[in-house]
Amino acid sequence: MNGSERNLLITVGAALGGLAFLGVARILPSNNISFIADAVVAVGLFGILALSLNLEYGFTGLVNFGKAAFYMIGAYASAMFSFALAPVIFRQFGETVQAGLLMFTGGLVGGVLVSALAGFLVSLPSLRLREDYLAIITLVFAEIIRVILRNTYFYDDVGGILGLRHVPSIFPVVQGRYELYPLTNAVFVMVFFLIFYFVANLIVNSPFGRVMRAIREDETAAQALGKNTFRVKAQVFSVGSAIAGASGAIYAQYLGYTSTDLFLPITTFQIYIIAILGGVANNNGALLGSVFVILLDRGARVIKDYFGSVPFLSAIDPLNLQFILTGILLVMFMMFRPEGLLRESKLKTLPD
Amino acid sequence: MVELTLNFAQILVNSVITGSVFLLASLGLSLTYGLLKFPNVAHAEFFTFGAYMAITFGEFWKLGFALGAVGGFFASGLLGLAAYVTIFRPLTRRGASLIHMTVASVGLGLALRFSIQQVWGRQIILFKEEFGKFDIGPVRLTDLWVTIIIAAIVLGIGFHLLLSRTKLGKAIRATADNPVLAMASGINTEKILVIVWFLGSGLAGVGGVFKGADARIAPIMGFEVIITAFAVVILGGIGSFYGTVVASYILGFAENLGVVALFYLDLTIEYRTAVSFIILVAVILLKPEGLAQIQLRAIKRNSTA
């Protein structure tokens, strides 16, 4: 580790520590466990998204500027599937835990499939071209699908700017104990994060994962070795979109609501800073980066209460500051350490 | 449904106005894309910044709309130049990949957009300037629209003369074509890049001024237009001036036709942004080199025949 790397680590560490301190200072007096649990849910959701971006961007070198769109498609599709399944399931099981579980599973499967299909179709036109075409087409697609969903009403009061309300939640609130809801969801989301973590690790350490890295390093060489790089890229993009869709499905059932305003382009860039900060092509980094970004996000909201009383600082909106900082960090990492904080994970292959 | 008689002349004029704004917004993007080989997503923010600086100069400091627009040009130009010198030039010198350059430009765009939001607020701002309205036959025009069209014509002719008649233009074309060869033949490619970044960003700023005066100023306005700008750049052919001109007006026309079609289909006109996506996908599928290559091939065929 040379001097500049150490400085970078110290700076980031100090920022993390400061934000964590502020967060704890704010939370402990009010004893607000839900606040922490909600942050853990966000860490899990963004962690899953970062894992999926890592597969595309980190391991295969595919630029997807539409991650938020596939996240949103997962949320919308799963909600729609849950709505469609609801009458049948309620007739069979009544309002029981199994009913919630079944509706979520149906929604999750539907959301994942639709998201994967969308990812596959969007990537298809540009995968044979240079990587910048994929970047542009995903950026444009994300914005347009958001505008379209924002202006489309499925019924009079379903969709559009109202979003989808009453998305079935997997853990119903029992006897009005609302504080348990984020807590159970936090555990649930983290379990899903672990599942996808192992899935992602399995993928990248398989022969398929080696082809992914080969494409990132030198696509022509991979082709020369007889690999169908076009098919591999389309598969990676579909899997990445599917995982993002799963995250969206979990998000929708957690909030019990979903809307296009939750998936602004800024979400995509937050996922980028997570994947890059943690370590490009390192799945452990997804969690590290996610913790950092969520601390920054929650810290900005907490700090807002402190900024209000300080004469000069009260003029600065911490939410603006958060995204200015995100942008500057992205530029700084690209300039000085494009591989991120953690090194790329070593290939784990079974000995013959 | 409301019966409406279509005013084709008005649709055509509106298309020219929309296309002119697209031209201003996309030309710099196309040229820097061609020279440095990466899509500069932060270009959107040069567009927005021009609008905000123009209203600051023109109305908050009471210098008038014209001086405000000039101020917007220089402010955006200098911002683009600063971005090139402090971020993209060092990145190029380090041999950063296309992906890293693009992600850096996204980060820059993010930082700029939220800085703008911090300084001017996230609410919409409107120009107080009143533009005279008048009719020519069935066509309604305003002073602003005439200014936009004249500005686009001046830009078109000016750039054409610059590229075809001057030594600087020749050097720009040579650098875009093959930077190493250009440098080897004694062209100061560094100077060319600086000029192109300044001009391109400044023109985007002017586009922002016009768009802002015609509609509204908001931190998101640049991001809204970059979606179409990318369609223009790809359709026109990356780095091609003439391609960008033609593509801008094609997109302008398509968007206005799209609005009419959506109206007749009884759908919200918010869907009109989908027009650029459809064109983008179609071009990428059918003709990823864009219009510029088509022209070249036609010329070659004529010269050999």
Q: How far is CA B183 from CA B85, B180, B188, B235, in A?
A: 19, 5, 6, 29
* Record: contact A125-B230, CB cut-off 8 A: no
pLDDT at A7 over 50: yes
Confidence band (pLDDT; 50, 70, 90) for B305?
very low
pLDDT at A76: 94
Q: Token pair of A272, please?
A: 């980028």
For residue range A67-81, list pLDDT tens digits in order.
Answer: 999 999 999 999 999
- H/E segment holding residue B140: strand B139-142
The DSSP code for B139 is E
What is the share, in percent, of chain B residues with pLDDT greater than 70? 94
Q: Do B122 and B48 contact (CB within 8 A), yes or no?
A: no
- b/e code A122-154 from CB counts within 10 Å (16+ = b): bbbbbbeeebbbbbbbbbbbbbbbbbbbbbeee
* Record: contact B90-A126, CB cut-off 8 A: no
Q: Token pair of A295, please?
A: 């601390």
Question: From the CA of B122, how many Å to the nearest CA of chain A?
Answer: 10
* Record: contact A136-B111, CB cut-off 8 A: no
Whole-angstrom distance, CA of residue A231 vs CA of residue B42: 32
* Interchain contact A313–B (C-beta under 8 A): no
For residue range B67-92, list pLDDT tens digits in order.
Answer: 989 999 999 999 999 999 999 999 99
For residue range A295-313, list pLDDT tens digits in order.
Answer: 888 887 777 777 666 666 6
* Record: contact B110-A329, CB cut-off 8 A: no
Q: Do A73 and A120 contact (CB within 8 A), yes or no?
A: no
What does the pLDDT average to over B153-175? Answer: 89
pLDDT at A240 over 90: yes
| pLDDT, averaged across chain B | 88
What does the pLDDT average to over B198-214? Answer: 93
Confidence band (pLDDT; 50, 70, 90) for A31?
very low
pLDDT at A138: 92
For residue range B249-270, list pLDDT tens digits in order.
Answer: 999 999 999 888 888 888 888 8
Confidence band (pLDDT; 50, 70, 90) for B24?
very high
pLDDT at A11: 59
- Decide which of A306 and B171 is more confident: B171
* Record: contact B270-A126, CB cut-off 8 A: no
* Interchain contact B99–A (C-beta under 8 A): yes
Question: Taking each helix axis from N to C terminus, what angle separates A265-278 and A318-336, rounded to the nearest 10 degrees?
Answer: 50
| pLDDT, averaged across chain A | 84
Q: How far is CA B203 from CA A129, A324, B228, B305, in A?
A: 29, 25, 16, 39
Give residues with Cβ within 8 angstroms of B172, minimum separation 6.
B31, B162, B163, B192, B195, B196
Q: Within 10 A of B162 (CB to CB), how many other CB atoms are there?
A: 15
Q: A interface mutation test: which of B32, B33, B103 has the most A CBs within 10 A?
A: B103
The amino acid present at B121, given as its one-letter code, is: G
What does the pLDDT average to over B35-49? Answer: 92
Q: CA nearest B277: which of A135, A131, A143?
A: A143
Whole-angstrom distance, CA of residue A53 vs CA of residue A269: 11
Beta strands per DSSP E along chain A: 153-155, 158-159, 164-165, 257-258
Confidence band (pLDDT; 50, 70, 90) for B290?
confident
pLDDT at B296: 56
Whole-angstrom distance, CA of residue A181 vs CA of residue B283: 49
Q: Within 10 A of B185 (CB to CB), how many other CB atoms are there?
A: 10
Confidence band (pLDDT; 50, 70, 90) for A168?
confident
Closest CB to A129 among B98, B101, B284? B284
* Three-class DSSP category at B130: coil
- Decide which of A322 and B52 is more confident: B52
Q: 3-state SS of B159-187?
A: HHHHHHHCHHHHHHHHHHHCHHHHHHCCC
Within 8 A of B102 by CB-CB distance, chain A residues are: 63, 132, 135
Looking at the DSSP bridge assignments, the partners of residue A258 are A164
- Decide which of B109 and A310 is more confident: B109
* Interchain contact A265–B (C-beta under 8 A): yes
Whole-angstrom distance, CA of residue B89 vs CA of residue B87: 6
Question: From the CA of B111, how many Å to the nearest CA of chain A?
Answer: 4
* Record: contact B280-A323, CB cut-off 8 A: no
What does the pLDDT average to over B140-166? Answer: 90
For residue range A184-238, list pLDDT tens digits in order.
Answer: 888 889 999 999 999 998 999 898 999 999 999 888 898 888 888 899 999 999 9
pLDDT at A271: 93
- The position carrying tokens 């000016």 is B158
Q: Token pair of B34, please?
A: 């061609």
* Interchain contact B90–A (C-beta under 8 A): yes
Closest CB to A338 among B38, B100, B108? B100
Cβ–Cβ pairs < 8 A, chains A and B: 130
pLDDT at A187: 86
Confidence band (pLDDT; 50, 70, 90) for A249?
very high
Within 8 A of B281 by CB-CB distance, chain A residues are: 125, 137
Can you list the alpha helix ranges (DSSP code H) found in chain B?
8-36, 43-55, 65-83, 89-93, 98-120, 143-165, 167-177, 179-184, 189-214, 221-236, 241-264, 274-286, 291-304
The amino acid present at B244, given as its one-letter code, is: T
Q: Do A82 and A310 contact (CB within 8 A), yes or no?
A: no
Confidence band (pLDDT; 50, 70, 90) for A280?
confident
For residue range A73-120, list pLDDT tens digits in order.
Answer: 999 999 999 888 888 888 888 777 788 888 889 999 999 999 999 999
What does the pLDDT average to over B135-162? Answer: 89
Q: Token pair of A151, please?
A: 């202006």
- Decide which of B93 and A304 is more confident: B93
Q: Token pair of A217, please?
A: 């390093």
Those of residues 158-217 in B touching chain A at CB distance below 8 A are: none
Q: Token pair of A29, please?
A: 């007096």
Percentage helix, strand, coil for chain A under 3-state DSSP, each rounded to 5: 75, 5, 20
pLDDT at B78: 96
DSSP characters over A148-215: HHHH-EEETTEEGGG-EE-PPPSSPPPTT-TTHHHHHHHHHHHHHHHHHHHHHHHHHTSHHHHHHHHH
The amino acid present at B133, given as its one-letter code, is: K
Q: Do A49 and A271 contact (CB within 8 A), yes or no?
A: yes
Whole-angstrom distance, CA of residue A118 vs CA of residue A102: 24
Q: CA nearest B34: which of B225, B175, B229?
A: B175
pLDDT at A15: 61
Give residues with Cβ within 8 angstroms of A89, minimum separation 6.
A99, A102, A103, A106
Cα R_g (chain B), whole angstroms: 20
Question: From the CA of A290, how many Å to the nearest CA of chain B?
Answer: 17
pLDDT at B304: 52
pLDDT at B298: 57
Q: Token pair of B222, please?
A: 């640049």
pTM for the model stands at 0.87
Question: From the CA of B215, how many Å to the nearest CA of chain A?
Answer: 18
Closest CB to A331 among B98, B108, B223? B108
CA torsion sign for A335, A340, A343, A345 is: negative
pLDDT at A18: 60
Whole-angstrom distance, CA of residue A268 vs CA of residue A277: 14
Confidence band (pLDDT; 50, 70, 90) for B128?
confident
pLDDT at B297: 57
pLDDT at A178 over 50: yes
* Interchain contact B118–A (C-beta under 8 A): yes
